[in-house]
Structure 1
Amino acid sequence: MPTSPPRTERVEARIAPEVLEIVRRAAEIEGRSVSDFLVGAAQEAARRTIEQMQIIRLSMEEQQRFAALLLTPPELPPAMARAAKAHKKLIAPSQ
């Protein structure tokens, strides 16, 4: 079994007694300490939250529309085309 890195940080939280009882019961069922159970649950919740913010999920229809727009992008509006042209002049690569 791989060893865990040493724990050096401390987090405190106040919870209602009935919530603590549920957590104790769940930790007991898994054969873990309350602290270990809470750390594991918090870590899993944190990973899910980060994943939800970093992964874009699209329906099949949305995927097809996205790919089509990448392959054949719409024409730029006139103001955007002028801005792109001005940007190229201003940020011309040095040669």
Structure 2
Amino acid sequence: MPSDSVRTARLEARLTPDALAIVKRVAEIQGRSVSDFVVATTTEQARRTIEETCVIRLSLEDQRRFVELLLNPPAPVPALERAAQAHGELIQRQ
């Protein structure tokens, strides 16, 4: 987190005394305030979670297969053709 950013929002959390003691100890070990430690740690974990849930990682072989299917898609199956036709008819009625 950039040090020149302006902190304008507030977050409250209730911790057990044991959890608070751990957080205080780790912040002390890292030479940070409790607030700075909590902000940095939660922000990093949030970014990691977003990346893990929103970024799809493919092996090199899977990447090649994906591109191959994009460039040369298989012929549509009959059910897809029927669905496309039904969709077209539905849109035309509106």
TM-score, length basis structure 1: 0.77
Cα deviation code 1:57-92 (max 9, x no counterpart): 011111111111111111111121122234345446
* Gap regions ≥5 residues in structure 2: none
Percent of residue pairs identical: 49
Higher RCO structure (Cα 8 Å, ≥6 apart): 2
Query: When the two structures are aligned, how many residues end up with a matched partner?
Result: 91
* 3-state SS in 1 of match to 2:13: coil
Distance 1:73 1:15 in 2: 56
Runs of 4+ with deviation above 6 angstroms: none
Letter in 1 for 2:74: P
Distance 2:79 2:11 in 1: 54
* Gap regions ≥5 residues in structure 1: none
Question: How well do the aligned residues superpose, as a CA RMSD in angstroms?
Answer: 2.1
* 3-state SS in 1 of match to 2:5: coil
TM-score, length basis structure 2: 0.77
Letter in 2 for 1:62: D
| 1:15 equivalent in alignment to 2:16 | yes
In the other structure, the counterpart of 1:29 is 29
